[in-house]
């Protein structure tokens, strides 16, 4: 890429380039330089670039340029552009990146995903919007309800297409794409181009131009990789030391239970931490991410739901508390640091029984990590996470107060005597996660029972994912009389992390494979 390459020289309209310049973005990334001339010319584009490579602007700029130039009138329930992404967090991040550029052009949008009430989304569609940014599950629901049609779509964008394939979303994506005009422009962006993506490309893209800005396994040059070989009983102590260092940290666990438990343990030990996983309703997700963005929490403890789409500046350290199962997950998790040329450090904690798995993992990921056997007090801890270790009071996040009898994240009333609802509602005291599970197995539109949707929750034959009947033990505490330890009291307004007991051994046992993320 020439140093003289600019967004206007690639064909980006001055109105959009000036917005980028005002945000300090003046030099296109390799994926933007490669794809923009073709996408701005109206070609179908298949773009591959690793996480943090700038794919978001690579598809937003041509979409906004096309909508601005076409001047088509805005119509009720008939959007002009569609962006599909696998998770609510990614949809929200894309919307945040698009808003400053769309507003001066008079281009309106709505985000559509589960875990919140659908009425505001339906209302916005009825008034008319130009762009729909959506997760597949809720979008299919609204299509079946007649809340919108896709016959007016001029540009369709699939972001993180490989992740949608990994999560089993491709059948729903195909049903959605079947409702868009065949002659509309299609832009597909992905970190990897696997066989599942090839099916979409052959069926829906017309003579696409393929651009690969880097190798699928090329590690970021400014990212340092370490493997810490620790005794299982010392793992929590090592995590506490690393997370009490200055700077933002993202810690990954394999299970929702492990993320919840570890966040409580860190908070109880004086490290302000928040959790992010599929069992959280949208309100809790938003509060936790806001706390991390604003610096109230220095550590985000997450499952792989956060490996895509969580763009937070200045994450200095990524810690794999549980090594991921596959190398793609390692690369996407690690991509939360060393973004946009910044430095970053990635640490994988490895116990004796994980040595073989981690060796295979790093080999497939194409990275060379320095392995150190250590425990608390080892000088390497201070080397990779320099600075004074500090402890604070436990973090307490305040949720908006709700009228008595309501317990739903995302608005609306609970059903049947005020049963608690998380992320969309449950009946007869059942906890409901993410986008929401439906009793009787499976969602409308043909999704099989048990399919996981990280835009929402898991669907199972019982209609519950991670939920427990009233009075049954829950992660980190028990539910009794409508009260949840470490959560929000029914009808109350405070979300606080309670102290967990059990130490490293308890965390270790709680975060092994076998539970859903």
Model confidence, pTM: 0.60
The helix (run of H) or strand (run of E) holding residue 506 is helix 503-510
Half-sphere exposure (CA, 13 Å, Cβ side) for 362? 21
pLDDT at 196: 74
pLDDT at 237: 96
How remote is the C-alpha of 277 from its chain's centroid? 9
pLDDT at 115: 86
pLDDT tens per residue, range 155-181: 999 998 888 887 788 999 999 999 999
pLDDT at 52: 66
pLDDT at 403: 42
pLDDT at 438: 37
Which residue stretches of the chain have pLDDT < 70? 1-3, 50-52, 195, 214-222, 306-313, 336, 338-343, 398-517
Alpha carbon distance 410, 282 (integer Å): 6
pLDDT at 195: 65
Name all domains of the chain by residue range, CATH numbers in brackets. 8-212 (3.40.50.300), 223-394+501-510 (3.40.50.300)
Count of other CB atoms within 10 angstroms of residue 343: 12
């Amino acid at each position: 890429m020439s140093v003289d390459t600019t967004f206007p020289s690639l064909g980006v309209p001055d109105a959009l380039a000036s917005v980028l310049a005002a945000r300090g973005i003046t030099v296109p990334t390799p994926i933007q330089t490669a794809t923009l001339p073709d996408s701005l010319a109206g070609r179908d584009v298949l773009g591959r670039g690793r996480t943090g490579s700038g794919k978001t602007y690579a598809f937003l700029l041509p979409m906004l340029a096309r909508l601005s130039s076409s001047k088509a009138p805005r119509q009720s329930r008939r959007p002009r552009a569609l962006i599909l992404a696998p998770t609510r967090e990614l949809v929200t991040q894309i919307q945040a990146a698009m808003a400053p550029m769309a507003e001066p052009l008079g281009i309106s949008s709505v985000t559509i995903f589960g875990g919140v009430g659908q009425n505001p989304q339906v209302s916005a569609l009825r008034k008319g919007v130009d762009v729909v940014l959506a997760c597949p599950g809720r979008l299919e629901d609204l299509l079946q309800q007649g809340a919108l049609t896709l016959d007016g779509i001029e540009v369709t964008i699939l972001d993180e297409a490989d992740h949608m394939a990994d999560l089993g979303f491709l059948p729903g994506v195909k049903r959605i794409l079947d409702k868009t005009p065949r002659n509309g422009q299609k832009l597909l962006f992905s970190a990897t181009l696997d066989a599942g993506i090839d099916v979409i490309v052959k069926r829906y893209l017309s003579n696409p131009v393929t651009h690969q800005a880097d190798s699928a396994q090329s590690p970021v040059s400014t990212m340092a990789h370490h493997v810490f070989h620790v005794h299982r009983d010392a793992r929590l102590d090592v995590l506490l030391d690393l997370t009490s260092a200055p700077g933002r940290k993202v810690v990954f666990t394999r299970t929702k239970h492990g993320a919840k438990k570890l966040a409580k343990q860190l908070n109880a030990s004086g490290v302000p931490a928040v959790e992010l996983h599929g069992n959280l309703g949208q309100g809790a997700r938003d509060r936790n991410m806001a706390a991390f963005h604003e610096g109230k929490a220095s550590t985000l403890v997450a499952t792989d739901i956060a490996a895509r789409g969580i763009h937070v500046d200045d994450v200095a350290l990524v810690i794999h508390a549980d090594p991921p199962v596959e190398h793609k997950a390692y690369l996407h998790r690690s991509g939360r640091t060393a973004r946009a040329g910044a430095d970053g450090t990635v640490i994988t904690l490895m116990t004796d029984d994980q040595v073989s798995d981690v060796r295979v993992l790093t080999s497939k990921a194409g990275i060379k990590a320095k392995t150190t056997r250590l425990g608390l007090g080892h000088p390497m801890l201070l080397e990779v996470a320099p600075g004074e270790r500090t402890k604070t009071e436990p973090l307490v996040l305040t949720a908006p107060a709700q009228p008595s009898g309501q317990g739903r994240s995302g608005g609306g009333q609970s059903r049947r005597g005020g049963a608690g609802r998380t992320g969309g509602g449950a009946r007869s005291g059942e906890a409901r996660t993410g986008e929401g599970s439906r009793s009787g197995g499976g969602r409308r539109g043909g999704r099989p029972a048990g399919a996981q949707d990280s835009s929402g929750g898991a669907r199972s034959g019982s209609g519950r994912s991670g939920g427990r009947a009233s009075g049954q033990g829950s992660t980190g505490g028990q539910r009794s009389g409508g009260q949840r330890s470490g959560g929000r009291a029914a009808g109350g307004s405070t979300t606080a992390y309670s102290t967990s007991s059990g130490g490293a051994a308890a965390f270790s046992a709680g975060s092994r494979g076998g539970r859903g993320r």
